[in-house]
Amino acid sequence: MLQTWKAFYARSDPAKAYSLLSPALILVTLAMLVPLGLMLSFSFFTQISFTEIDYSFTIQRYIDFFQKNLLVSLLIKSVKISFIVTFVTLLTAYPVCYYIAFYVKKNKMLWLVLLTLPFWTSYLLRVFSWKIILGTKGVINSSLINAGLLNEPLTFLMYSETAVIITLTHAWAAFALLPLYVSLDKIDFSLIEAARDLGLSRFETFWKITLPLSLPGIIGAILIIFIPTVGDYVTPALLGGTDGRMLSNMIQAYFGKVNNLPLGAASATIMLITVAIVTIVVSYTTKKLTQRIS
Amino acid sequence: MNNSFIQINGISKHFGNVKAVDDVSFEIKEGEFFSLLGPSGCGKTTLLRLLAGFEYPTSGSLLLDGSDITALPPDKRPTNMVFQNYAIFPHINVEKNVQFGLRKLGLTNDEIIKRVKDVLSLVKLEGYEERYSSQLSGGQRQRVALARALVRQPKVLLLDEPLGALDKKLRDEMQLELRTLQKEIGITFVFVTHDQQEAISMSDRVAVMSEGKIQQMSSPNELYKNPQNIFVSDFIGETNFLKANTELKDGEYINVNIENLGSFKIKNNLNISENASEVICSVRPETMMIDTEKSDWDICLEGKIKQTSYLGEMTKFYVETKEIEKIITVSSQYFDNQSFQDGKCFISINPNDISLLNKK
């Protein structure tokens, strides 16, 4: 019996694959699929009173969501903030990666490690340090006032959408560096020279050659930044004030103070679907655009 | 025909302390197939990149067809390049690759289509328009690179070791094709290679480079028959070096005393006039004769075969003699390693085949 099992195992690649994957599979099932399933089922229930929940199936919570202007506008705001963060991150990280990929000759790895240095401290710590920098008595405001450039502190810096965008951009920039760097570093520099040789200016060469060839990295960076930032609630909670609040803060409230688990679960599910749609659209467009790059 | 179509005037290119190109001056004729030949690191590619505009010289100037192009960026130069790795754009197909350089020339759509069609038929790539780089063989990629550069009808085509990545058979084929193509379209070719056989078989003129300097510039025939110095003689084909001292000059000839062999009258191709100066003589393996018996040639040495290598069309012998420690010679048909008993042989040299070389 043992012999047959051994022989089967030796020949079966799926058996080997699953046994190697099993620790991760068990963990993912328990820690992700089960809670996700629970959340999904809760979104179809009804909160009757503070402690009571009606477990009969209804899609009323989803209807509630779209009838509450606040929730819909928070969802739109979450997506908007995330898009801005993604865009600003790309705009700042891309030139840096371009520089490292094409102009740094020695110690490229050292450059990358140095760039990720701030990310060796905790996320929360970094959010708090932005509080120190952006606050009304923070580094920026007090320097400007001491320099005599301002009479009173800039209020839009702190507890605002701006604060959330700045902090999230900084918090996730490191994650954009790697896919961008890898895709740019892979580009053969002679392709860029060839384009110049064929009469294209620097800008045209970038547009026609460098940008399309680095598209996989750009898409990777977009997904890596967009997905986590759209659901971030730490930064908006600490730095957003009322203006910078995002949907995740509302979801947190539904599961906490407000105690409306079904509506919270429905909101979370809608958010999940939104992220999934954006991911699919972005990936599909990339696939179309990059089919030919290999 | 413009004899100074490309003028390279005192061009130097330094990378830090390295003098990649060191004060080089020469001219290339219009319509010429010109090769830059040398070992890796000799500066030949840097010189080509200076012509293309990818590098700017540390000093000196470049003139093309009478106008100064020293400071022009690559996109403003009437030159085009075939890259060593071909640099075919992977995200667009063959047709778009070839069209790529035409957009900026202000041609009408019909002209563009016609030019692309013509150049693809010139390089025998009709029917490959829709393919992508990843779907092409090495030889086909090379043709795309060639078509893409030629379609712009440049004044000069720069080729950076374009045949290096191909297998031998295909390389030989492409050598012939490139040569025919160049004669057909009459564009000036500047061809970089480290392969001496390639340079000799294709070029009108060859410049042999070493350590950033031009060692010799002449026709392939002249280069082989009449190398100016030890480097060129050694780099172009194989040769035997003999130490010698000069004696009396005699018109076009000079008497030299070759170590262990005695005095001979040979052609004074270097125009040496001093008496008793040390020189190096060179004698090519194929000019010597190897035999089992003594010959009546002026120089005939008895030797012992140390090693042979069979090359198919010929056999190469490494021979040791009393007078000269190591002689390389070849025999095309009569003899192989079976022919000599105990490796005993006779090497005959005609003094007319000995040439003088500069030490540097």
pLDDT band at B1 (very low <50, low <70, confident <90, very high): low
Task: Tell me the pLDDT band of B237, cut-offs 50, 70 and 90.
Answer: confident
The whole-model pTM stands at: 0.81
Tell me if A212 and B74 make a contact (CB, 8 A cut-off). Answer: no
| Nearby residues of B335 by Cβ (< 8 Å), 6 or more positions away | B290, B291, B292, B315
| Beta strand segments in B183-314, E | 188-193, 205-210, 213-218, 240-250, 253-258, 262-267, 278-283, 289-291, 299-310
State the pLDDT at residue A294: 38
Q: Residue B360 — pLDDT band, cuts 50, 70, 90?
A: low
Which residues 123-162 on chain B approach chain A with CB closer than 8 angstroms? Answer: 132, 134, 148-149, 152
Inter-axis angle of helices A247-255 and A69-102, nearest 10: 130
Query: Domains along chain A?
Result: 68-293 (1.10.3720.10)
Write down the mean pLDDT value for chain B: 90
Work out whether strand B344-349 and strand B299-310 pair parallel, antiparallel, or are unpaired.
antiparallel
Among B75, B80, B90, select the one facing A200 at the smallest CB separation.
B75
- Which among B54, B91, B92 is the nearest to A193, CB-wise? B54
Residues A268, A252 contacting (CB under 8 angstroms) = no
Chain B residues whose beta carbon lies within 8 Å of the beta carbon of residue A189: none
Percentages (nearest 5) of helix, strand, coil residues in chain A? 75, 0, 25
Query: What are the Cα distances from residue B185, in Å, to A52, B84, B123, B279?
Result: 89, 22, 12, 45
ipTM: 0.84
Q: Is A197 close to B80, i.e. CB distance below 8 A? A: yes
CA-CA distance, B166 to B140, in Å (whole number)? 10
The full set of domains in chain B, from first to last, is: 6-233 (3.40.50.300), 238-357 (2.40.50.140)
Note whether B69 and B44 are within 8 A (CB): no
* pLDDT score, position A84: 95
pLDDT at B309 (0 to 100): 87
Taking only the tens place, the pLDDT of each residue in A199-232 is 999 999 998 899 889 988 998 999 999 999 998 9
Per-residue pLDDT of B105-126, as tens digits, reads 889 999 999 999 999 999 999 9
Lowest mean pLDDT across B10-14, B53-57, B74-78, B264-268: B264-268
Length of chain A: 294
Interface touch A193/B74, C-beta < 8 Å? yes
Mean pLDDT over B74-91 rounds to 94
A200·B84 Cβ contact <8 A: no
Nearest to B322 by CA among B261, B280, B278: B261
Cα–Cα distance between A259 and A215 in angstroms, integer? Answer: 44
Size of interface A-B (CB pairs under 8 A): 69
Write out residues in chain A with pLDDT < 50, as ranges: 293-294
- The 3-state DSSP class for residue A178 equals helix
> In whole angstroms, what is the distance from residue A290 CA to residue B10 CA?
46
Answer whether residue B330 shows pLDDT above 90: no
Question: Contact A292/B92, CB-based, under 8 Å?
Answer: yes
The pLDDT of residue B238 is 86
For residue B326, the model assigns a pLDDT of 86
Say which of A197, A208, A212 has its CB closest to residue B74. A197
Whether residues B75 and A213 touch (CB distance < 8 A) is answered with no
pLDDT in tens, B198-218: 999 999 999 999 999 999 999
Q: DSSP states of B2-20 as a string?
A: -TTSEEEEEEEEEETTEEE
Contact B100/A293, CB-based, under 8 Å?
no
Give the closest-approach CA distance of A114 to chain B in angstroms. 27
- Provide, rounded to the nearest whole percent, the portion of chain B with pLDDT above 70: 99
Q: How confident is the model at residue A290, as a pLDDT?
A: 63
pLDDT band at B358 (very low <50, low <70, confident <90, very high): confident
Q: For residues A76 and B345, what is the distance between their CA atoms, to the nearest angstrom? A: 95
Identify the contact set of chain A against chain B, taking CB-CB distances under 8 A.
188, 190-191, 193-201, 208-209, 212-213, 290, 292-294
| In contact, B304 and B220? CB cutoff 8 Å | no
Residue labelled with tokens 């951009």: A169
